[in-house]
A and B are shown apart, each in its own frame.
Chain A
């Protein structure tokens, strides 16, 4: 049986405090890309009681995603937006979701992201990451952007870190570990980078801007 909305809110307030939880509940966070980074960022933020998530990905769940992404074998072939929404609502039934099964391009960035307070870049390809970063910082200057670069392979967990590049731009990762170096993405290290991004979003909402 699903608890009442008030019961879940009270549980969150007990953990985070009333004032902080109010900020989390009032916030809208966009997650661009729902792979190893995005599916974990979304899970963490849904559990923390963020009020509204904008989930964007053009892809379907593939068998090769299961080693590091928050999907189930029963969801193979489904749109990641819909599959993730289903999983998130099992943890946070009153979460508001906006789903876009679409590829992010220079042309649609502003329209897709204008309602977000904070934007998490969780895309795969370096060109797409750079495009989104440039576009958001140029066209949506009031938003906070939390991007990621360098989390592949079996390198040290301690190499993953968060840097504040400018007032509104944070970058998580080790900066160098590329997927093309013979080693793919390994679940805990990607989750770690996603955790940096998700926690940075929560810290921004808590008005803790330094890293």
Chain B
């Protein structure tokens, strides 16, 4: 099993992927996690953000059930005050 994983890692490395999700332009190793589990590891305030995945908004009610998959491009927009 260990060999299999190493082989897969090598292929992914070649493809420039890994088990990576792109969040705001940075590769992050969070494929397989839910969006809410990922957000819990960050400093984002969930009341101040909007999250897009591959160009579509993720409704706030779906953060817990949204599973991030390899190759996803995520944009977290975090608002600051002033207007």
B16 interface contact, C-beta 8 A? no
User: Which residues in A have their C-beta under 8 angstroms from that of B83?
Assistant: 33, 35-38, 122-124, 129, 148, 185, 190
Report how many A-B pairs have Cβ atoms within 8 Å. Answer: 83
What 1/0 flags go to B41-83 for Cβ under 8 Å of A?
Answer: 0000101111010011101100000000000000101111111
Number of A interface residues in the complex (CB < 8 A)? 36
Q: Given A166-B55, A166-B56, are A126 and B75 neighbors across the interface (CB < 8 Å)? A: no
Let me know if A130 and B50 touch, CB within 8 A.
yes
Number of B interface residues in the complex (CB < 8 A)? 19
A176 vs B48: C-alpha distance when bound (angstroms): 13
Which chain B residue lies CB-closest to A106? B60
Interface residues of A in 102-147 (CB under 8 A from B): 122-127, 129-130, 133-134, 137-138, 147
A11 interface contact, C-beta 8 A? no
Which chain B residue lies CB-closest to A149? B79
Let me know if A125 and B81 touch, CB within 8 A.
yes
User: Which residues in B have their C-beta under 8 angstroms from that of A127?
Assistant: 47-48, 79
A167 interface contact, C-beta 8 A? yes
Which chain B residue lies CB-closest to A37? B83
A28 interface contact, C-beta 8 A? no
A38 vs B82: C-alpha distance when bound (angstroms): 11
A74 vs B50: C-alpha distance when bound (angstroms): 39
CB distance from B46 to the nearest CB of A (A): 9
A33 vs B83: C-alpha distance when bound (angstroms): 8
Which chain B residue lies CB-closest to A36? B83
CB distance from B59 to the nearest CB of A (A): 5
Instruction: Give 13 CB contacts A-B under 8 Å.
Output: A36-B82, A38-B83, A122-B83, A123-B83, A129-B48, A149-B78, A151-B82, A152-B82, A165-B77, A169-B52, A177-B80, A178-B82, A180-B81
Beyond A130-B49, A175-B80, A179-B80, 12 additional contacts (C-beta under 8 Å) are A36-B83, A126-B45, A126-B47, A126-B81, A127-B79, A129-B79, A130-B79, A137-B52, A165-B77, A169-B52, A176-B80, A178-B81
